[in-house]
Amino acid sequence: MNSLRGIRTTKEGETYNKGFKKEEENEQPLSPMARLFHEPGSDVYIIGIMGSKTKICPQVFKDNLALTFLKNRRFCSLQVMDKENGSMEWIPTHVNIDDHVIIAKLDPNMESSDKFIEDYISNLTISPMENTKPLWDLHILDVKTQETEGTCVFRFHHSLGDGISLMNLLLSCTRKVSDPEALPTLPGNNKRPATKVASIWSGLGVLWNSLIALLMFVLTALFLKDTSTPMKGSIGVERKPRRFLIKSVSLADIKMVKEAMNVTINDVVLGVTQAGISRYLHRRYSEDHNGIADVPDNIRLRATNFFNLRATTRVEDFTDMNKHGTWGNKIGYALLSLNIGLKKDPLDNVRDAKAIMERKKTSLEPLFTYFFTNLLLKLFGMKAAGKLNYKVFFNTTLWFSNVPGPQEEISFFGHKVAYLAPSCYGQPCALMIHVVSYMDKVTFVLSVDEETIPDPHKLCDDLQESLDIIKASAQVTRF
């Protein structure tokens, strides 16, 4: 591993990072975007679930977290509000690592280890973090399942950083199993190329798509709501407990569809998501109407799709925020209109997804939403920006995110990783679907409000069945 700065021990179990320069120990204000995540309706937490193929050693985790996480000022600072002006500041503090690493108490009478893990993580969503310590923790569940010898659950307040920076923080603590000195690699290019405008016509296309996206964004913020389906959350859904489910499918199956249809992996994943949601809603409407599928025509169902606005996707030493200017919340989002309904040709779901993503690729919508939110913060303040974000998120149906993960098997502090499953809670919608790849699998991670979606395992099955049907259709087309 890379050499790390020394750690000064203050009291038993307490550590404080010597790596900060003296001037960096002064109070510093939270960025406007970080402050926004403390507003009502935007008080979002990021969950990172990691399955271990080997039994977890808590002391190894504690020792290594002190050498990695505590190099980053955000992970050893309080967020303190000035009651007079409403601003918040990072105030460095001593950190007792034992306050942040929690060993879960096991139920000796548990009937199912998987159900115990589900219930434990769900309970975290109604267990607030204390603001008397930095807003992160790690829960270790020493429970064996069919896939794992143990499970660890990271929890971060979104003000610490967005999902990309936090995922890279975790990955920077991992190494390839095949090469214990090497960081994992992500699929695709290390740097995303800048948008190129090949002609006047393509430039006009970008302008037109961006204007349409802008109009839909404004209308959604004002009044345009999605259809009230069995997936649409009610007022206050952001304060309700969430349940997290993990469904892994074959990456080879997705690649087969990709090659047969000459599309991208993202197109296939979004197409499977649209098909799975359509199947789920068809069944729910049938159950609600005595077996008759009384599905409304022209359902408006949109996903808020998040985009990373950073230029690089390379895994780097994200533990040291002073070395890299990569921290913060640098994400934009776009609204994806899904075409809900059972298709005669299942491949139409992938074709729909490709058309949706092609429009978004020739649009500045993610950049617009990021800069517009920042502009609103500067002109009208935190409350106005918070209300706008809340209205947009609440008026749509789900959050959707799709990120690439390591291509090879990795270990985290010497523990072989079985799976990675990032997600969120606190968002004002009843469903989030986060898709992440790892080795030869693609994992759908669902975050659901069970009052709205009482049978989320069926939705997981619908996603798997949709992929199977799309794959079978693609094989017929291919051969």
Q: Measuring CA to CA, how many Å separate 27 from each of 74, 82, 96, 137, 306?
A: 12, 12, 20, 22, 31
Q: Determine the residue type at 389.
A: N
For residue 314, count other CB atoms closer than 10 A to its CB.
13
For residue 470, count other CB atoms closer than 10 A to its CB.
27
Structure tokens at 251: 């990456």
| Cβ within 8 Å of residue 136, ≥6 positions away | 69, 75, 100, 129, 154, 155, 156, 157, 160
Q: How many residues does the chain have?
A: 479
Instruction: Give me the DSSP letters along 345-387.
Output: STTHHHHHHHHHHHHHHT--HHHHHHHHHHHHHHHH-HHHHHH
* CA–CA–CA angle 296, 300, 306 (5° rounding): 145
Residues facing residue 331 across a β-bridge: 308
For residue 398, count other CB atoms closer than 10 A to its CB.
27
End-to-end alpha carbon distance in the chain:
48
Reading across the β-sheet that carries 441-449, which strands appear in turn?
A: 242-250, 441-449, 431-438, 398-403, 301-308, 331-338
Proportion of the chain in helix, strand, coil states, percent, rounded to 5: 40, 25, 40
Active site residues: 158
Are β-strands 410-412 and 415-425 bridged in parallel, bridged antiparallel, or unpaired? antiparallel
Structure tokens at 106: 């096991």
The Cα–Cα gap between 471 and 136 comes to 41
Beta strands (DSSP E) in 22-173 are 28-29, 45-52, 77-81, 88-92, 95-96, 101-103, 136-141, 150-157
For the four alpha carbons of 470, 280, 424 and 125, in that order, the dihedral sign comes to: negative
Structure tokens at 121: 């993580």
